[in-house]
Amino acid sequence: MEFQDEILIEEQPLRRKISDIHTARVITSLPMDKIGDVAKKMSKENVSSVVIKAFNDKPVGIITEKDLVRKILSVDKPDLEQRAHTIMSSNLITVKPDDFAYRALLMMTKYNINHVVVADEHDVLHGIVTIKDLIRNRNTGALSIVRQIEKQQSFSELAKVMSEVDQVLQALLNERSYASEICALITELYDRVTRKIIWIAEKQMAAEGFGEVPARYCFINMGSAGRKEQFSRTDQDNGIIYEDPRPGKEEDYSSYFLNLGKHIVSGLEECGFKLCKGKVMANNPRWCGPLSGWKSNIYKWVEKLDTKNIRNMTIFLDYRYVTGDHALYNDLKDYTTNLFSQSGYALLFMAEDDLRHRVPLNMFGRFITDKTAGKGNIINLKSAIMVHLVDCVRLFALREKIRETNSFERIRRLRELGIFKPDDAEYMESAYEALLMFRIKDTVSSNKKGKPPDSYLDISALSRKEKSRLKRAMLTVSRLQSLTAHTFHVNKA
């Protein structure tokens, strides 16, 4: 390895492989081992966790010091004769040896844990990554922010933490992380903030005399937040799904959840998430209602395919569960998935809507720029290019009943199903990665200048290499549009 490469790795701890930072020596026990023996082993080996392995040597769970304290030592008469499998965390969070350190950080941030097991695709145990391993590699910023988020008790306190979340974005850029990695980690932090806002909102409602939550509900994000492609605090796109009320309770439920939605939207706004101009938010009765109401609206959109309903569908169809009752989300997701996979006409209409506009490249492969007064030769990355990739990939995903909302995940699933050829899928992923990175860098640059980001890219300010990368991405999106036209039989394409 060259000296320059060594420097690069030191400057990019998130780009280091798990195999380079994990603890290879793992203390293990069997599911039927006594808790007392497990505790003695942890004390003797001076470790904070023990991985539970089955008789075939595959990891099936983990017991941490927290598990021992919470499940055994906190009771009046600790039963040290209990077996390990009765208290182990069986929902094992794992990473692969070839994953980057970023992946371990993401898992710890997402699940608020301090240990991640390292296992290969055959479930062979390779080691464990602990928070201490990440501390040694200077990767604790996001984890520290998670702890801070959980401590806050008001919207104003939570708003003060947001500047530190913004610093994570800058740190990830400095470490040359991929755009997909940046979006994944920022999304987890924003989800944490949102869940905390909802918790505070429920407390506020109770204090104001609205009482406790009257029914099961879940909170969803839509748009870019739903696709897990947020990298900055953009406009809100969210909603509330609550269980169908008992007869006579319709007004009570509607009143409570609309007021809860107002509190949540207000909290998000205080934390820097702007109000949606189209009012696609949980404080709007259109986006806050019972499960049956959501289904009815979605069905009406499909039945009456006009411009307004297409707009609603493209925002809504990337909806993602954030918190609350998962069964309500799954019920609506099943309904939506089946409805659209069977509605060829709706998919055709949506394909035609996207293909009314093409990627801004002329027949010679040159940029078609928007020479808006005072802005030079510009292209709107979001509305002129990225939206087409998102729209087209979504159409294929809907047809194949793919439940994932993230564009990268959708592309991978379509490749696995044989819908996209491996090379084509790779080109699409690379194209979207490039386009996202252009937007992220432009947003960070605008923020530093105190200007609001506008998604416009000045072509004249790009280097030759950047222009080449942008053109390759645009050509890939253009080919995807042609594939969409052919697949969905769009005559106008």
- At 42-93, the pLDDT tens digits run 888 888 889 999 888 889 999 988 888 888 877 777 788 889 999 998 888 8
Do both 414 and 268 map to the same domain? no
Asked if residue 205 and residue 60 are part of one domain, the reply reads no
Position 1 in a domain: no
Q: Are strands 94-95 and 217-221 parallel, antiparallel or unpaired?
A: unpaired
CA 291, 296, 302, 306 torsion: positive or negative? Answer: negative
**pLDDT score recorded for residue 132:** 75
Residues 252 and 212 in one domain: yes
What are the residues whose beta carbons fall under 8 Å from the beta carbon of 44, sequence distance 6 or more? none
Angle at 267 between CA 114 and CA 153, to 5 degrees: 50
Domain with 362 in it: what CATH number? 1.20.120
Per-residue tokens: 391? 């729209």
The encoded tokens of residue 169 equal 């974005």
410 and 318 co-located in one domain: no
On whether both 309 and 274 belong to a single domain, the answer is yes
333 plus 357 within the same structural domain: no
Q: Does 324 share its domain with 373?
A: no
End-to-end Cα spacing for the chain: 51
- How many CB atoms neighbour CB 473 within 10 A? 26
Residues 90, 211 share a domain: no
Give every residue of the chain whose pLDDT is below 70, as ranges. Answer: 1-15, 135-143, 371-376, 492-493
- Do residue 353 and residue 337 come from a single domain? no
Q: Tens digit of pLDDT for each residue in 187-209?
A: 988 999 999 999 999 999 999 99
pLDDT at 138: 55
Cβ(78)–Cβ(54) below 8 Å: no
Q: Say what angle helices 179-207 and 141-151 make with each other, to 10 degrees.
A: 10
Q: How many CB atoms lie within 10 A of CB 248?
A: 7
What single letter denotes the amino acid at residue 235?
A: D
End of a domain among 313, 341, 369? 341
**Order of all β-strands in the sheet with 28-29:** 28-29, 49-53, 59-64
Q: At which of 293, 319, 341 does a domain end?
A: 341
Q: Does residue 43 sit within a domain? A: yes
Tokens of 177: 């992380």
Closest CA to 327 of 218, 480, 408: 218
Does any domain span residue 60?
A: yes
Q: 409 lies in which domain range?
A: 348-487
Residue 228's identity, in one-letter code, is: K
Q: What local confidence, expressed as pLDDT, does residue 358 receive? A: 92
How far, in Å, CA of 44 to CA of 77, rounded?
A: 23
7 in a structural domain = no
**Is 432 a member of any domain?**
yes
Last residue of a domain, one of 341, 358, 382: 341
Cα–Cα distances (Å) from 1 to 9, 11, 12, 385, in that order, read: 11, 15, 16, 39
Shared domain for 198 and 307, answered yes or no, is: yes
Say if residue 80 is exposed, middle or buried (CB neighbours under 10 Å; 0-12, 13-18, 19+): middle
On whether residue 480 sits in a domain, the answer given is: yes
In Å, how far are 301, 313, 481 from 317, measured between CA atoms? Answer: 12, 6, 19
Tokens of 483: 């594939």
Q: Helix, strand or coil for residue 481? A: helix
| Class of residue 433 by CB neighbours under 10 A (exposed 0-12, middle 13-18, buried 19+) | middle
Note whether 214 and 312 are same-domain residues.
yes
CATH code, domain carrying 165? 3.30.460.10
| Residue 306 falls inside a structural domain | yes
Q: What is the pLDDT of residues 236-254, one digit of tens each?
A: 999 999 999 999 999 999 9
Question: For position 334, what pLDDT does the model report?
Answer: 95
Whether residue 102 is found in the same domain as residue 204: no
Distance CA 10, CA 7 (A): 5
Q: Give the largest Cα separation in the chain, rounded.
A: 79
Q: Is residue 3 assigned to a domain?
A: no
Report how many domains make up the chain. 3
CATH label of the domain that carries residue 114: 3.10.580.10
Exposed/middle/buried for residue 91 (C-beta within 10 Å: 0-12, 13-18, 19+): exposed
Distance (Å, whole) CA 124 – CA 41: 22
CA angle 97, 102, 108 (to 5 degrees): 95
Nearest residue to 39 (alpha-carbon basis) of 77, 82, 90:
82
